[in-house]
Amino acid sequence: MLKVLDGPVLAHRTTLRLGGRALAEVRAAGPRDLDELPGALARLGGEPRMLGCGSNILADDGELPVVVVALDSGGPFDAAPEVTGETEDGRVLVRVGAAQRLPRLVSRLSAWGLCGMEGLAGIPGAVGGAVAMNAGSYGCECGAALHAVSVFSPALGHVTLGRDRFRYGYRHFEVLDEAGAPLGGWYLVTAAIFALSRCDSAVVHAVMRGNYLKKKATQPVLSHSAGCVFRNPSPLNPAGKLLDAAGLKGYRIGDMAFSTMHANFMVNEGHGIAKDAFSLLQYAKVAVSERFGVDLELEVKVWSWR
């Protein structure tokens, strides 16, 4: 049976520590619970918003007309990585539940000597969220390694879809219908199957550790942040470089600031509020546009009534 929580405070559920109250939160422990989800959402009203570990989300202040949908840990949606077979070209298939933490998956793959996702070391969050935004770093991205994805939606029910039924790009992922068009309505990732190459475990571990140490030295991995807030306009002109050149590294409004380590990370330095976060982002967009003629686009997902 679905668990329904009334009025969860999103500041307690997001890594940026921002956000007012949602209408409700519904939590599913297993596939049968998801069958009840469309009816529950209709009764509760509001827009469904999928929540994993709370990264990559900027939630507004106040009362938000959204219903948070989450998968419980410790059950089938939290299934640990397991080898399920091989592809015709010899890559190893690994299935993992959407509620599993991405760092745990990357660590397990390293121990097994499987490569293709080691660049994701140091990225927080759950596997489902990483797939849904096509998380990527250091030349690796979830979509490139994804062999199949299990989803639930009102239109499809419980299905596992191969690569012909999803499409991905830079920080973008979408499920397709049978005609190849983007699936209408909401869906929820419940599991992922990745296809990975065999490599020397020590080499994979060394690359993974190097990537993590590089992140730790250049990004505020221990701060309250949502990750990168703006999409990179191009490889030669990443958002952080433009923001830094515009003098925004360390710039703050209230307790919200661009990190002094990496300008594309907005951090909550105490008791920040979403109003100041939105003001900070707008100030940065104007500053970069006026100086470089580049219109920055948000990468962080905004939950707002505005």
Rg of the chain, C-alpha, whole Å: 19
Q: Measuring CA to CA, how many Å separate 237 from each of 204, 224, 242, 265?
A: 29, 25, 7, 16
- Residue among 283, 168, 180, 270 at smallest CA distance from 223: 270
**Longest C-alpha distance within the chain, in Å?**
56
Alpha carbon distance 62, 80 (integer Å):
37
User: Which residue reads 């300008």 in tokens?
Assistant: 263
- Residue among 52, 80, 50 at smallest CA distance from 66: 50
HEC string of 157-218 equals EEEEEEHHHEEEECCEEEEECCCCCECCCCCEEEEEEEEEEECCHHHHHHHHHHHHHHHHHH
Where in the sequence numbering do the catalytic residues fall? 171, 228, 299
Read off the tokens for 158.
């419980």
Read off the tokens for 149.
């994805």
